[in-house]
């Protein structure tokens, strides 16, 4: 049991992000506590991916601060590599290395970045592959797996770095419908195990089952925040009402 559960882990303060003249994030303030699962939803172009990418510093911010476990995001170098290891990221496209086996995909980071011994890394990787339900696939190449299996490997790969927080950016939106649940089930399991998670998804079932909070974004702003139940049944803003009506009818 994490004794610090409930304490702030990710703190985004007054963040602005510009791409040239275009402002992609405006006045973003968001605190994610240890063990909390925050679901981010909103229309296309609202800044959801940008927010995720700034949190693990794939993108720089124009102003404001982001801290992970009390430490401000370093600009570059070793400190940045260490921080990246604290933040696991799973994308819509699985981004597995196509020429490496499933096992090697999962052990690469621990061996190269954390200096783990191969045998130890492999033992942990096999346990993680077991946890996400793809242990039988360890010696195959990514192309030999289904999309749902590949995405579960991507989750195992992120977990292998022992991150403090996991970011998911629409992890099921590139999957065939029958594979969505096998990935969501793994994510629900992670949430139940107490992992701190920020999840960009429009899967309301997941948000209701595993989400502590929904953050609704539009035009680079956080427009409203609420419990999943409140948000889906009684959204407050017109933007959210409009968005949800479209989500339900399509």
Distance, CA of 159 to CA of 157 (rounded, Å): 5
- Decide whether 34 or 48 has the Cβ nearer to Mg ion: 48
Residue 7: partners with Cβ closer than 8 Å, 6 or more residues away: 33, 34
How wide is the angle at C-alpha 207 spanned by C-alphas 153 and 232, nearest 5°?
Answer: 155
Structure tokens at 12: 């985004």
CB of 40 to Mg ion, least distance (A): 10
Q: Establish if 56 lies at the interface with Mg ion (CB under 5 A).
A: no
- Decide whether 23 or 230 has the Cβ nearer to ligand ATP: 23
Binds Mg ion by CB under 5 A, chosen from 46, 49, 56, 105: 49
CB of 211 to ligand ATP, least distance (A): 17
CB of 104 to Mg ion, least distance (A): 29
User: Residue 234 carries which DSSP code?
Assistant: S
Number of H helices, E strands in the chain: 9, 10
Which residues are near ligand ATP by CB under 6 A? 19, 22, 24, 42, 44-50
Distance, CA of 199 to CA of 212 (rounded, Å): 11
For 198, how many CA atoms within 13 A lie in the half-sphere containing its CB?
30
CB of 220 to ligand ATP, least distance (A): 7
- Decide whether 106 or 158 has the Cβ nearer to Mg ion: 158
Q: Using CB under 5 A, count the residues that bind Mg ion.
A: 2
- Decide whether 58 or 135 has the Cβ nearer to ligand ATP: 58
Contact set with Mg ion (CB under 5 A):
48-49
């Amino acid at each position: 049991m994490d004794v610090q559960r409930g304490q702030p882990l990710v703190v985004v303060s007054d963040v602005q992000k510009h791409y040239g003249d275009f402002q992609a994030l405006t006045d973003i303030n968001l605190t994610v506590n240890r063990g909390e699962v925050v679901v981010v939803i909103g229309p296309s172009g609202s800044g959801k991916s940008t927010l995720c990418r700034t949190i693990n510093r794939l993108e720089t911010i124009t102003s404001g601060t982001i801290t992970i476990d009390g430490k401000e995001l370093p600009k570059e170098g070793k400190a940045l590599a260490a921080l990246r290891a604290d933040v696991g990221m799973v994308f819509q496209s699985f981004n597995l290395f196509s020429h490496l086996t499933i096992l090697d995909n999962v052990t690469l980071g621990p061996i190269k970045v954390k200096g783990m011994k191969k045998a130890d890394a492999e033992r942990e990787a096999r346990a993680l592959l077991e946890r996400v339900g793809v242990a039988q696939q360890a010696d195959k190449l990514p192309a030999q797996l289904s999309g749902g299996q590949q995405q579960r490997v991507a989750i195992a790969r992120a977990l292998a770095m022992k991150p403090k927080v996991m970011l998911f950016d629409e992890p099921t939106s590139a999957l065939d419908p029958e594979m969505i649940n096998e990935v969501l089930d793994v994510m629900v399991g992670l949430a139940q195990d107490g992992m701190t998670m920020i999840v960009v998804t429009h899967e309301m079932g997941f948000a209701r089952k595993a989400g502590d909070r929904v953050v609704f974004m539009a035009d680079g702003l956080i427009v409203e925040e609420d419990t999943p139940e409140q948000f889906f049944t009684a959204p407050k803003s017109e933007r959210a009402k409009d968005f949800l009506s479209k989500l339900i009818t399509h």
